[in-house]
Amino acid sequence: MPWKEETVEDQRRTFVIRANEAGCNFSALCREFQITRRTGYKWLERYRSGEALNDQSRVPHHHPHKTSPETEELILSVRISHPTWGARKILRYLADKGNTGLPVPSTATSILKRNGFITPEESARHTAFQRFVRDAPNDLWQMDFKGHFAMMDGNRCHPLTMKDDHSRNLLCLDAYDNERWEGVKGSLNRVFLDNGLPNAILCDNGAPWSDNHGGYTPFELWMMQMDVLPIHGRPLHPQTQGKEERFHRTLNEDLLKRTPIRDLAHAQQLFDSYRIEFNTERPHGALGLDVPAKHYRKSPRKMPEVLKEPEYDIGKTLRKVNCNGYISIQNHRYYLSETFIGRYMELLPQDENTIAVCYGNFVIAKVDLDERLFVSRRISRR
């Protein structure tokens, strides 16, 4: 007869009482209760030793792979210090510091959840998605101002950030009280001297990188003079600079939301420390949890000591930009920018109706001669 779940203890008690009766055929009794002889002897032994006949917990008394309290404490302490880091980053950080006996990421995640550090909403927010990346360091840098924020002295800080696209290495994190070209140029000058020149720099379409009136900016001119291609993202498409946008969110969560900032000097002090931590200590999910500094190397292209105007071959068709920023092509004036006043442009035929306007190694515009208008003002390499 099979056990009934609601009376299982009574059934077992009946079994052991009958098994103790004189002349009991134990094998036949086991067949009657539809259990094996081994199970029958187990219940009989428990009854004779005074143990309860109900089901006992199958949880092992010893957990050889259970995470030690000390390791749990390490994981939680790193999480407290770095509230935005997940289990994988925490474990990699601890391993890089020489800690051993660490659990697998799923166990560490369970520890964080059990202690209230991870919610379902937070897990959904950090779902990964695919990003595109350049093949080598210094092939492309991304640069942008993060949204400004108020400081305790009543002024506002405008953080300027710059990252290498391939390695995610944070090249610049500077605190400014404005977003003007003079400050940007100072930061770029320092970064170029420290790291060499990239092949290209990606920025958005706002000041000081771009001119909303259609002209070219001092930033674009300076880049071309150093043979660096200035690239602008598509208007109203911030995802073009996805790595910068993602870093700004990280900076906000890691630092700005958690630390009151007194003034610009205090902001720069915090930014300098955070840049070192980001590059050399913080595991990066897009790099297989390596730190960015492991994947970055300086550019062999050194910043020139003196900037020179382009030299054009003899016989090329040249036009000088007039005092109002225009050049003349076939008796029609085309506006470039006051930035180019007094500089020479080369006219390079593309087909019978199109002329490319070139500054040194770069095509800066294309003109439709029939329609007498620009068909492109996007800068590209020749």
DSSP notation for 7-29: GHHHHHHHHHHHHTSTT--HHHH
Give 367: exposed, middle or buried? Use CB within 10 Å, 0-12, 13-18, 19+: buried
* Same-domain pairing of 25 and 78: no
CA distances from 343 to 81, 220, 346, 355 (A): 54, 14, 10, 18
Omega before 208 within 30 of 0, i.e. cis: yes
CA–CA separation, 225 vs 353, rounded Å? 29
Which tokens hold the place of 164?
């290498």
pLDDT tens digit string along 50-109?
A: 777 766 655 555 555 677 888 888 888 888 888 888 888 888 888 888 888 888 888 888
* Same-domain pairing of 236 and 353: no
* Same-domain pairing of 370 and 228: no
* Same-domain pairing of 193 and 105: no
Domain count, the chain: 4
Is 55 a domain residue? Answer: no
* Same-domain pairing of 225 and 252: yes
Range of the domain at 11: 5-48
* Same-domain pairing of 42 and 82: no
Is 303 a domain residue? Answer: no
pLDDT tens digit string along 273-300?
A: 999 999 999 998 888 889 999 999 999 9
Q: In sequence order, which residues have a C-beta less than 8 Å from that of residue 381 and are 6 or more positions away? A: 229, 361, 362, 363
CA–CA separation, 192 vs 171, rounded Å? 10
* Same-domain pairing of 151 and 269: yes
Q: Taking the CB of residue 73, how many other CB atoms lie within 10 A of it? A: 11
Per-residue buried b or exposed e for 36-66, using 16+ beta carbons within 10 Å of the residue's own CB = eeeebeebbebbeeeeebeeeeeeeeeeeee
Q: Taking the CB of residue 332, how many other CB atoms lie within 10 A of it? A: 12
CATH number of the domain to which 236 belongs:
3.30.420.10
Angle, CA 224 vertex, CA 215 and CA 182 arms, to 5°: 70
pLDDT tens, N- to C-terminus, the chain (382 residues):
554 455 677 788 888 888 888 888 888 888 888 888 888 888 888 887 777 776 665 555 555 567 788 888 888 888 888 888 888 888 888 888 888 888 888 888 888 888 777 766 555 555 444 457 788 999 999 999 998 999 999 999 999 999 999 999 999 999 999 999 999 999 999 999 999 999 999 988 777 887 656 689 999 999 999 999 999 876 544 555 678 888 899 999 989 998 999 999 999 999 999 999 999 999 988 888 899 999 999 999 999 999 989 999 998 999 999 999 999 999 999 999 999 999 999 999 998 899 999 999 999 999 999 999 998 898 999 8
Is 169 a domain residue? Answer: yes
Is 304 a domain residue? Answer: no
**Residues 256 and 175 sit within 8 Å (Cβ to Cβ):** no
* Same-domain pairing of 364 and 272: no
* Same-domain pairing of 353 and 232: no
Phi/psi-derived region of residue 315, left when phi > 0, alpha when psi is between -120 and 50, beta in every other case:
left
Q: Taking the CB of residue 25, how many other CB atoms lie within 10 A of it? A: 10
Is 163 a domain residue? Answer: yes
Which tokens hold the place of 338?
């006051």
Tracing tokens 């960015």 back to the chain, one arrives at: 292
Closest to 284 measured CA to CA, from 93, 37, 41, 3: 93
Is 349 a domain residue? Answer: yes
Is 313 a domain residue? Answer: no
Q: What stretch of H or E contains 158?
A: strand 156-164
* Same-domain pairing of 240 and 368: no
* Same-domain pairing of 192 and 260: yes
Is 235 a domain residue? Answer: yes
* Same-domain pairing of 260 and 351: no
